[in-house]
Structure 1
Amino acid sequence: MATAEAATGRTITTSIPARLDRLPWSRWHWSIVIGLGTVWILDGLEVTVVGNIAGRLSEPGSGLSISSAQVTGLAAALYVAGACIGALFWGRLTDRYGRKNLFMITLAVYLAATALTAVSFAPWWFLVFRFLTGFGIGGEYAAINSAIDELIPAYHRGRVDLIINGSFWVGAVGGSLLSVVALNTDFLPANVGWRLTFALGVVLGLVILLVRRSVPESPRWLLIHGREREAEEIVASIEQRIESQTGKPLPVPDRELVIHQRGSVSFLEIARTVFSDYRRRAVLGFSLFIGQAFLYNAITFGFGAILTKFFDIPAGHTGYYFAVIAVGNFFGPLLLGKLFDTVGRRVMISGTYILSGVLLFGTAWLFGRGSLNAVTLTACWCVVLFFASAGASSAYLTVSEIFPMETRAMSIAFFYALGTAAGGISGPLLFADLTETGKVGDTVLAFQIGAALMCAAGLVAAFLAVKAERRSLEDIATPLSAA
């Protein structure tokens, strides 16, 4: 992997960012969505399967001597910890060596760790490779969101980013239904079914890896790193393909950018840029990530345990309920995504966060009164997460577009890691303890904490969210290399 340091130091004038933003939606853009976005389906499959098979893994004959709390608590926390560390590690390399190099490597790491999880023979092995699976997926968050935002036109960026991040829940639906089959001992032995679910994820990941090979490097990244000839060739090829498909000439780009090419950006410069020059945006990023991370990583990890403990739902049937919730989660970004580009970021981000928090408070109140059963609780969660999912997806969109391009991957990594560490590591551990007590009040408390953090993040967004809809990335945050 070369950084092209020797070619930096020159000043160039380019219209490439404007040329990318004025492109109409095309089959080429769909290839980007499929090549990069479908990995979240795997992530959703992975997380959901682990949550749903927790009961089976703790049973005699599973092939592992591990408790349900270790799976939903310790293993979940290790997965998130790996993702946080991986985001920081791979995020730095993504800004230095390019988007494409890293989104190929991180997917390979993710696949290898998942495959090794499938052959777990002892708790320590399972826990180690849950951590390494998270380590790979953390790098995916930084590399993929950077590449998507830099390749998708400004007019479509919000809805595309939300839908791609929301596709996690398509995997969650698949994982839920797959776990139903995997946990049915009429079809598969108790020590085989859960292994095959991980193996299927590997197969799907290999297909994505092959598709991803055709996705180009970000022309914006190439420009800054002294490789403008490659950037020009990529953009010219895209333009030629789209003109051939539409039969119409593309409009003339309306602006140019003067760039002083440079090498990598130091950690000190990244920190100064994000936390000093853009401190209000940093507060916004932290708030959004902490709110959504705690709600999702703390509460949804324990949903299966709630069904089994409070409503006596068999472990093999929890997948049906979670599939319904996952559908609601996916339809949130799918149906609301366009509004983030039309109504605007500030209204939609604050609105989805606050509304989901208020609805979660209502769910906690009903649960505490004993007014809910397994079906009505699932319905409540489906409504809550319809809005929460759109808000959570917008957190990734926000931090990937409001900071300068040279810091983009590292900014995503910073906020994902620190926000997720606050809610995603402590959350599953705390929530596992609360649900293990079997006390209604403890579960209500967990719901209320998640709701309060979502509402607080929504209030922060109401004051600090950036009006980024339909604007070029270079307009939202001037590149550090702009001359």
Structure 2
Amino acid sequence: MGAETGRITTDIPARLDRLPWVRWHWLIVIGLGTVWILDGLEVTIVGSMSDALKDPETGLGLSSWDVGFAGAIYVAGACLGALFFGQLTDRFGRKKLFIVTLVVYTCATVLTAFSMAPWWYFTARFFTGFGIGGEYAAINSAIDELIPARYRGRVDVAINGSYWIGAAGGALLTIPLLDPTVISAEWGWRLAFGLGAILAFGILLVRRNVPESPRWLFIHGRDGEAERIVRSIEDTVKEESGERLPETGETITIRQRKTIPFTMIARTVFTLYPKRTVLCFSLFVGQAFLYNAFFFTYGDTLSTFLGVEQTGWYIAAFAASNFAGALVLSPLFDRIGRVRMITFTYVFSGALLGATGLLLDSVTALSLTILGAVIFFFASAGASAAYLTASEVFPMETRALCIAFFYAIGTAAGGISGPLLFGWLIDRASADQDITGIALGYLVGAVLMIGAGIVEAFLGVKAEGRSLESVAQPLTADDRTEEADEPARA
């Protein structure tokens, strides 16, 4: 690796992309990817414990609208946290921020467990989301910059889908925790939130061993440190694989900078890559409305209209299907390609959701869960691919902030409005005990998902098997071109 004054010519990206999969990569997956389990645990606990939180004696006396509001304020915190920590991640590095955001989440979760009034609970939920939102930006960027190109699609989709491991675990945990014969009703829901903090602490211990992104380091003038980290990774991979690593002659020349001006980042998103901006916004709005509307209020729907007292088993089955979909379909995003798979998963799941909305007058708790499991088997892979898309189609200097930006605006549009709309629909429909009153929410979600799938078909980027630098040249690349939307589709 040679360098000139203010410039560096490096082969680090090519060296990272050529590595075979070994145990070291599993360290990255476990240390970084398991945060989605925490998010799934958080959302499921709230959805499963809606009745416990409504009880004024042992809970907090929340209404159905309050439950929806708690979901919305959690998402609002996640949106703001993503924006706040996203720009810090691009400026100060991936590792510092994915430690800080996990600490914020852990502290806020502990405060949630000790909530004494609705305002306390809402505030704690906001800051829990604030930490989780920051995680999305820091973690997705770090994962994509450390995982070899030929595995990036399947790993990213599967890791984002691990959210549903937490969802299933949270649902199953609520079964004994909400059983008054096992634990007092006053303490069961509090203990559930406390368990999330314990899991986060365990992840923090593993995460300390994850290195900083070498790609971030060499762009920010720390090429010596980047070289040491890559050599250490290569030595570990050679030892674990027992193979000699192939040579690579591919290099890139970078103009190193300590910081990237926000004006340059804004120009990148809105001027240099306008088609990718429309694409990412569409994907995030569709999946955010679908998931946050349906899942934040799923437990409430089961208990209010379908007479289910213990929703944990139903939600666990639903969550298991979501994770299975992400896990089973994830390799196809590398083999068949991003555009085809994202288009199919969005359009197909949206169409099924619309059909379910029209059939609500004849569903039972079991049939609704089965329908949801089929829909979200496909939707979970598509939703995970939205994060993959935002993390790989913009230049490295803006990666974390772009993830944060699209997560924030997409989730604000779909993830805040969704739970509020469903909470309002449930409150109105519960007066007549008519479940068809929530069909509007299903139909809106269906339209948004199908629309996003169509946008992907026309504007999607064929990034499978390609280095991040070829999908979107770094802004500091010495030979970068001004427009990369069209070439990247080839």
| Residue 323 (structure 2) pairs with residue 327 (structure 1) | no
The aligned counterpart of 1:4 is none
Which residue of structure 2 aligns with residue 420 of structure 1?
411
Structure 1 residue identity aligned to 2:78: A
Pick from 368, 388, 396 the counterpart of residue 387 of structure 2: 396
User: 1:455 matched to which residue of 2?
Assistant: 450
Q: Which residue of 1 aligns with 2:375?
A: 384
Q: Are 1:286 and 2:281 counterparts? A: yes
Which residue does the alignment assign to 1:70?
66
Residue number among 203, 207, 210 corresponding to 2:205 in the alignment: 210
Q: Distance in 2 between matches of 1:9 and 1:408?
A: 25
Find the aligned partners of 1:63 and 1:151 in 2 and give their Cα distance.
44
Q: Distance in 2 between matches of 1:458 and 1:156?
A: 23
User: What amino acid does structure 2 have at the position aligned with 1:260?
Assistant: R
Give, in whole Å, the separation in 2 of the partners of 1:321 and 1:117. 25
Q: How far apart in 2 are the matches of 1:43 and 1:286?
A: 21
Q: Does 1:374 align with 2:374?
A: no
**Which residue does 1:82 correspond to in 2?**
77
- Spell out, residue by residue over 1:302-343, the C-alpha distance to the aligned partner (whole angstroms, 9 max, x if none): 1112111221111xx111101111011001110000000010
Q: TM-score, normalising length from structure 2?
A: 0.95
Q: Which residue of 2 aligns with 1:347?
A: 340
**Equivalent of 1:440 in 435, 438, 460:** 435
2:18 aligned with 1:22:
yes
* TM-superposed deviation, 1:61: 2.2
Letter in 2 for 1:235: V
- Secondary structure of the structure 2 residue equivalent to 1:94: helix
- Letter in structure 1 aligned against 2:464: E
- Post-superposition shift, 1:50? 0.8
Aligned partners of 2:353 and 2:60: how far apart in 1?
35
Paired amino acid for 2:338 = R
Pair 1:41-2:30 in alignment: no
Task: Determine the C-alpha separation between the residues in 1 that align with 2:449 and 2:5.
Answer: 45
Q: Structure 2 vs 1, CA of residues 99 and 9 (structure 1 numbering), >3 Å: closer, same or farther?
A: farther
Give identity over the alignment, percent: 60
Structure 1 CA distance for aligned equivalents of residues 27 and 207 of structure 2: 9
Residue 57 of structure 1 contacts residue 68 of structure 1 at CA under 8 Å; is this kept in 2?
no
Question: Where does the alignment leave 5 or more consecutive residues of structure 2 unmatched?
Answer: 479-490
- C-alpha displacement of 1:113: 0.2
Structure 2 counterpart SS, 1:12: strand
Residue 338 in 1 paired to residue 331 in 2? Answer: yes
Q: TM-score, normalised by structure 1?
A: 0.96
Structure 1 residue aligned with 2:109: 114
Contact 1:8 1:263 in 2 (8 A): no
Q: Map of 1:104-143 to 2, 5 A cutoff?
A: 104-143=99-138
Q: Deviations over 1:215-238 (max 9, x none)?
A: 000000000000011111111011
Cα contact 1:150–1:220 (8 A) shared by 2? yes
1:312 and 2:318 aligned? no
SS at match of 1:380: helix
> Could you tell me whether the CA contact under 8 Å between 1:61 and 1:190 is conserved in 2?
no
1:356 and 1:387 in contact (8 A); partners too: yes
Structure 2 counterpart of 1:415, which letter? F
Secondary structure of the corresponding residue to residue 103 of structure 2: helix
3-state secondary structure, aligned to 1:156: helix
Q: Structure 1 residue 442: deviation in Å? A: 2.5
Residues 172 and 313, structure 2, Cα contact 8 Å, conserved in 1: yes
Partners of 2:101 and 2:248 in 1: CA distance: 34
CA offset digits 1:19-61 (Å, max 9, x no partner): 0000000100000000000111011001100111111111132
Residue equivalent to 1:477:
472
Aligned-partner SS, 2:156: helix
Q: Secondary structure at the match of 2:149?
A: coil
1:229-248 Cα deviation digits (max 9, x unpaired)? 11111110111111112222
Kindly state the Cα deviation for residue 281 of structure 1 after the two structures are TM-superposed. 0.3
Distance 2:334 2:265 in 1: 28
Provide the secondary structure at the position in 2 that maps to 1:173. helix
CA RMSD of aligned residues (A): 1.2
2:46 to 44, 50, 63: 50
Task: Count residues with an aligned counterpart.
Answer: 472
Matched, 1:431 2:422: yes
Task: For residue 248 of structure 1, give the secondary structure of its aligned residue in structure 2.
Answer: coil
What's the counterpart of residue 245 of structure 2?
A: 250
Give 1:441 shift: 3.3
Q: Distance in 2 between matches of 1:165 and 1:433?
A: 29
Provide the C-alpha distance between the structure 2 equivalents of 1:223 and 1:60, rounded to a whole number of angstroms: 56
Give the distance between the partners of 2:390 and 2:302, measured in 1 at CA.
35
Tell which deviates more after alignment, 161-170 or 258-267.
258-267
Q: Secondary structure at the match of 1:191?
A: helix
| Residue 356 (str. 1) matches residue 352 (str. 2) | no
CA deviation after TM superposition for structure 1 residue 8, in Å: 11
For residues 92-122 of structure 1, give each alpha carbon's deviation from its aligned partner in whole angstroms, at most 9, with x where no partner exists. 0000000000000000000000001100111
Per-residue deviation, residues 52-107 of structure 1 (Å, max 9, x unmatched):
11111111322423324212x11111100000000000000000000000000000
Deviations 1:411-453 (A, max 9, x none): 0011000000001111111110001122333211110000110
Partner of residue 3, structure 1: none
Q: Partner amino acid for 2:358?
A: W
Map of 1:97-108 to 2, 5 A cutoff?
97-108=92-103
**Poorly superposed stretches of 4+, deviation over 6 Å:** none
